[in-house]
């Protein structure tokens, strides 16, 4: 049971495809207006004035925010909110919320799965079996890479980074990390720079947020520091990687392999990464179980319900955490 919401219907705009359970809940608790994409020209003037909340799955830029004079809250479906201009929302007094914690364990599980798939070439092994080669040619050659003896570097030791670290620590592997600041109470080795971290480890896992501060942070220099036995795994954001530099590093032996769940221009994946024999590529599925996506949908809508019934969000992003409901 959720708290009662005011009797005047609150209009919530949902641009683009959205989670069915979230849509049903929004339609049940508010007045839902769905449009094909985040394009304000699809909404007439009176409707623009009615919109008080946006539930977003994709990009919400400054111009879109400005199209709604009575907008109070943007509830982002996902913990990463780099596609929402939260800094601009803050200047407009608009609250932005995201969906932390409820996806942490799922994303950590998937990231470890992707790491092992990349090292042990599990997709290739399955393809070998399905093509009948086990029967016709015998066992597939052993994988050149292994998780054994590896040292792990985590770029982004936040909620998910910590959950990945705990898993890999229990696998008997040493863990180090890079953030802008060391995490209090965490004993893993801290490196002040990403390059120093990459030099110190042979397995680099990116689970840092996207956005200007991390744009192409994984570049040719970092990949060279990781070295020829190096494996790079990204379940953070594709924008954090210089994909041309990564494709080159994979083809010329600068690093050994990469496992990628995220890409700079989704759903488009660079041909060079598709062609590379030493990549395992996933279509942004790290949080993508029905269980976890439903929990994300609930938290996304619970933020709207809480805002309009109590005046407080459940999980505001830092940029708008101080905003008060008028
Ligand atoms: P979080 O708790 O906020 O952790 C982010 C970590 O990154 C923090 O430790 C932060 O530490 C560090 N960081 C941020 N900016 C940095 C910078 N410029 N340089 C170095 N370190 C930086 O977030 P989370 O819940 O773990 O989620 C992390 C990200 O994972 C999300 O933002 C999203 O992009 C991605 N994600 C992807 C999927 C998927 O499906 N593939 C699913 C969920 C999340 P400092 O502030 O000290 O630097
Ligand atoms: C989702 C994510 O896939 O939470 C995030 O930051 O990247 C993923 O959980 C995305 O938000 C929506 O598809």
Note the pLDDT tens digit of each residue in 228-252.
Answer: 999 999 999 999 999 999 999 999 9
pLDDT band at 58 (very low <50, low <70, confident <90, very high): confident
pLDDT (mean) for 281-307: 98
Mean pLDDT, to the nearest integer, of 263-282? 98
pLDDT of residue 307: 98
Beta strands in 83-201 (DSSP E): 95-97, 152-155, 175-178, 189-190
Q: What is the pLDDT of residue 44?
A: 96
Q: Is 284 a catalytic residue?
A: yes
Q: Sorting pLDDT into bands at 50, 70 and 90, what band is 106?
A: very high
In this chain, the answer to whether the domains covering 11-101+290-320 and 104-281 adopt an identical fold is yes
Cα 308 to Cα 4: distance, rounded to the nearest angstrom: 9
What mean pLDDT value characterizes the chain? 97
- Looking at the predicted structure, is the pLDDT value of residue 1 above 50? no
Residues 236 and 262 sit within 8 Å (Cβ to Cβ): yes
Does 79 contact ligand 2 (Cβ within 6 A)? yes
pLDDT tens profile 163-182: 999 999 999 999 999 999 99
CA of 142 to the centre of ligand 1 (A): 35
- The Å distance, Cα 139 to ligand 1 centre, comes to 40
The model's pLDDT over 200-222, given as tens digits with 9 standing for 90+, comes to 999 999 999 999 999 999 999 99
The beta-strand segments (E) located in the chain are 11-15, 31-35, 51-56, 73-76, 95-97, 152-155, 175-178, 189-190, 203-206, 231-234, 257-260, 279-281
* Distance separating alpha carbons of residues 4 and 142, to the nearest angstrom: 60
List, for residues 6-27, the tens digit of each pLDDT value. 567 999 999 999 999 999 999 9
Which residues, including other chains, have CB under 8 Å from residue 313's CB and lie 6 or more apart?
Answer: 73, 95, 97, 303, 306, 307
At 202 the pLDDT is 98
> What SS3 class is residue 84?
strand
Cα–Cα distance between 23 and 32 in angstroms, integer? Answer: 8
pLDDT of 4 higher than 80? no
CATH of 11-101+290-320, one of 3.30.1450.10, 3.40.50.300, 3.30.70.120, 3.40.50.720: 3.40.50.720
Verify cis geometry, omega within 30 degrees of 0, for the bond prior to 267. Answer: yes
C-alpha 51/C-alpha 70 separation (Å) is 6
Domain ranges of the chain: 11-101+290-320, 104-281
Q: How far apart are CA 195 and CA 112, in angstroms?
A: 22
Provide the token pair at 112: 């470890």
Q: Does 106 sit in the ligand 1 pocket, CB within 6 Å?
A: no
> Would you say the CB of residue 287 lies under 6 angstroms from ligand 2?
yes
CB-count exposure of residue 212 (10 Å: 0-12, 13-18, 19+): exposed
Q: Which CATH number fits domain 104-281: 3.30.9.10, 3.40.50.720, 1.20.1090.10, 3.40.50.2300?
A: 3.40.50.720
From 78, 86, 105, 237, the mutation candidate for ligand 2 (largest count of ligand atoms within 8 A of CB) is 78
Does the CB atom of residue 236 touch ligand 1 within 6 A? yes
pLDDT of residue 48: 98
Residue recorded with tokens 């863990």? 175
Q: What is the largest CA-CA distance in the chain?
A: 71
Catalytic site includes residue 178: no
């Amino acid at each position: 049971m959720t708290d009662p919401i005011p009797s005047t219907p609150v209009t919530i705009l949902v641009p683009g495809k959205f989670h069915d359970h979230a849509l049903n809940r929004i339609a049940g608790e508010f007045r839902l207006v769905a449009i094909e994409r985040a394009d304000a020209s699809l909404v007439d003037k009176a409707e623009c004035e009615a919109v008080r909340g946006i539930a977003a799955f994709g990009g919400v830029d400054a111009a879109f925010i400005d199209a709604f004079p009575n907008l109070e809250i943007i509830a982002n479906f996902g913990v990463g909110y780099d596609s929402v201009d939260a800094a601009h929302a803050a200047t407009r007094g608009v609250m932005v919320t995201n969906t932390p914690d409820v996806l942490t364990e799922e994303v950590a599980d998937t990231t470890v799965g992707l790491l092992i798939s990349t090292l042990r070439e599990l997709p290739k092994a399955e393809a070998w079996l399905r093509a009948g080669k086990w029967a016709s040619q015998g066992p597939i050659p052993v994988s050149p890479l292994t998780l054994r003896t590896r040292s792990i570097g985590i770029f982004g030791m936040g909620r998910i980074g910590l959950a990945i670290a705990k898993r890999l620590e229990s696998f008997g592997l040493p863990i180090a990390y890079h953030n802008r600041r060391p995490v209090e109470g965490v004993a893993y080795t801290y490196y002040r720079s990403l390059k120093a971290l990459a030099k110190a480890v042979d397995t680099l896992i990116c689970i840092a947020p996207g956005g200007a501060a991390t744009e192409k942070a994984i570049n040719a220099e970092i990949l060279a520091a990781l070295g020829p036995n190096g494996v790079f795994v990204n379940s953070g954001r594709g924008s954090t990687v210089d994909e041309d530099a990564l494709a080159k590093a994979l083809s010329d032996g600068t690093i050994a392999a990469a496992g990628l769940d995220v890409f700079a221009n989704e759903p488009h994946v660079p041909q060079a990464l598709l062609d590379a024999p030493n990549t395992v590529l996933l279509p942004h599925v790290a949080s993508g179980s029905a269980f976890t996506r439903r929990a994300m949908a609930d938290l996304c809508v619970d933020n709207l319900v809480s805002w309009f019934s109590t005046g407080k969000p459940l999980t505001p992003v830092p940029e708008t955490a101080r905003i008060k409901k008028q």
